[in-house]
Amino acid sequence: MEIERRHAPVPGELLDYLRANPTPPQGAEGGVHVHVHHHYAPAAPIPADHIVHQGPQQSMAHKILPYLWTALLACVVLTICAAVLATVLVVVVAVLAALALLGLVIAYVINSQTGAIAARGKAAMDAAKAEALGRKRR
């Protein structure tokens, strides 16, 4: 009787026991069928937050789907940011145009006041010259 040894040697006491107590033939072949059980240390426990995948492998579409949702969310966020930026830029351009127009109005007022002051000054100068000439003639 040959005992199959696959993983670990079988102790001699077990061999003696099996030779002394053969089991009745099983199956069509006859003979003794012996199973050697190996006891290993238990595996380390799986942490509670560890992801355990069970079932068949995911298809490529299922693997890529979370990335597509992330890309869609990023596109929505970037579109909203672009819209806000465009609105702010329109307001900034309008404010700058209003400031430029205000500067032009102020420049026109200053220019017209300067002309008026110059005209008054010239009139005063002419009056002073006329008065000076009038005094000389007397």
pLDDT of res. 6? 55
pLDDT of res. 137? 66
pLDDT of res. 86? 98
pLDDT of res. 30? 57
Q: What DSSP line would sit under 73-124, residue for residue? A: HHHHHHHHHHHHHHHHHHHHHHHHHHHHHHHHHHHHHHHHHHHHHHHHHHHH
pLDDT of res. 2? 54
pLDDT of res. 106? 94
- Distance CA(66)–CA(19), nearest Å, equals 62
C-beta separation of 31 from 25 below 8 A: yes
Per-residue pLDDT of the chain (138 residues; tens, 9 = 90+): 455 545 556 677 777 887 787 766 555 565 556 667 777 788 888 888 887 777 788 888 888 999 999 999 999 999 999 999 999 999 999 999 999 999 999 999 988 888 888 888 888 888 888 888 877 765
Domain ranges of the chain: 1-38
Q: What DSSP line would sit under 12-74, residue for residue? A: HHHHHHHHHSPPPP-TTT-S---------PPPPPPPTT-----SSPPPHHHHHHHHHHHHHHH
pLDDT of res. 29? 62
CB atoms within 10 A of CB 32: 14
- Distance CA(110)–CA(11), nearest Å, equals 115
pLDDT of res. 9? 63
pLDDT of res. 25? 58
pLDDT of res. 108? 92
